[in-house]
């Protein structure tokens, strides 16, 4: 299974360029939606007031989103200085200060909510991913994300999954085939769909979603690179592994959560995908507090 960096490197944009573009555009978008025509509350503060602040997590978390916050304050006010005490992918403990800021008080408070929104969401994705990864780490099975991401945050959340130790599934509709039930019906069968995919984009991975062992056999005969076993029972998963014998990568999907993950991994599949990593996130509880002020 290819990861995000592979997908973007072999797609229309280079990974680093795409990530930089995403960071710039999302920072601008978040500032625009929060500030609008101006932060009228910040205008209560003297324009020459300088402040120091720190950001603390109230719960354990895996940090993610520092580059987005750097860019947000760069666009808002380049006079704001940021000192990171932890880095993306690091485990934070409850009560830990992980970021210190210094600059115009107005700017610190204007950027506060947008910065925390980014950090709390991306850190939540990284944290949930890390918890899942730790459950199956010993098995060697790879944990994959899906396209079930928050609207407008696809690349950011997939980056967060990688910070949590997970792997990226396809980025979008352009970098890999995922032939599902409706595609199969419209194409006239699994074999016809796979053959057509090979003709359209020979270099792209071809994955087929199957709902039965009979469909698994059809996908294997058609030469699919990856086969998604949709909502298979544990017994069916074990049977699928025996039938496949390494001829294709097997991905288990459906009914995946913390209570089922280990048992699924034990069946011998190659990877497990879960939309919960990105769509069911609970924001991390973060707080920004001003700790010192002075006239500048």
Tens of pLDDT along 29-40? 999 999 999 999
Token duo for residue 123: 């850190």
Q: What percent of the chain shows pLDDT beyond 70?
A: 96
Domains and CATH numbers, the chain: 4-132+282-295 (3.90.1170.20), 139-279 (3.20.20.70)
148 is catalytic: yes
CB of 289 within 8 A of CB of 56?
Answer: yes
Of 36, 278, 16, 32, whose CA–CA distance to 153 is shortest?
278
Among 24, 147, 148, 154, which one carries the catalytic annotation? 148
Token duo for residue 115: 């910065």
100: left (phi over 0), alpha (psi -120 to 50) or beta: beta
Average pLDDT over residues 103-130: 98
Among 22, 71, 145, 209, which one carries the catalytic annotation? 209
On the question of pLDDT at 271 being above 50, the answer is: yes
180 is catalytic: yes
Predicted pLDDT of residue 13: 53
Predicted pLDDT of residue 150: 95
Question: What is the model's pTM?
Answer: 0.91
Among 147, 154, 180, 247, which one carries the catalytic annotation? 180
On the question of pLDDT at 250 being above 80, the answer is: yes
22 is catalytic: no
170 is catalytic: no
Predicted pLDDT of residue 296: 84
């Amino acid at each position: 299974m290819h990861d995000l960096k592979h997908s973007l490197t072999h797609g229309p944009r280079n990974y680093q360029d795409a990530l930089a573009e995403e960071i710039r555009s999302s920072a601008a978008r978040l500032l625009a939606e929060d500030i609008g025509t101006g932060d009228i509350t910040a205008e209560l503060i003297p324009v020459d007031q300088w402040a120091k602040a720190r950001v603390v997590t109230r719960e354990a978390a895996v940090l993610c989103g520092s580059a987005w916050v750097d860019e947000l304050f760069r666009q808002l006010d380049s006079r704001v200085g940021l000192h990171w005490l932890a880095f993306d992918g690091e485990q934070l403990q409850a009560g830990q200060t992980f970021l210190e800021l210094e600059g115009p008080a107005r700017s610190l408070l204007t950027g506060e909510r947008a910065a925390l929104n980014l950090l709390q969401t991306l850190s939540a994705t990284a944290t949930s991913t890390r918890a899942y990864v730790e459950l199956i780490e010993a098995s060697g099975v790879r944990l994959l994300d899906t396209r079930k991401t928050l609207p407008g945050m696809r690349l950011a959340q997939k980056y967060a999954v990688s910070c949590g130790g997970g792997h990226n599934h396809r980025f979008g509709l352009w970098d890999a085939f995922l032939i599902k039930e409706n595609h199969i019906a419209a194409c006239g069968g699994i074999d016809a769909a796979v053959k057509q995919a090979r003709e359209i984009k020979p270099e792209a991975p071809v994955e087929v979603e199957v709902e039965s062992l009979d469909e698994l056999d059809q996908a294997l005969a058609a030469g699919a690179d990856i086969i998604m076993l949709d909502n298979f029972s544990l017994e069916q998963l074990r049977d699928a592994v025996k039938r496949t014998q390494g001829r294709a990568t097997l991905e288990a999907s459906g009914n995946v959560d913390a209570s089922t993950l280990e048992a699924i991994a034990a069946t011998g599949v190659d990877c497990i995908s879960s939309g919960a990593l990105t769509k069911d996130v609970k924001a991390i509880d973060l707080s920004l507090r001003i700790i010192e002020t002075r006239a500048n």
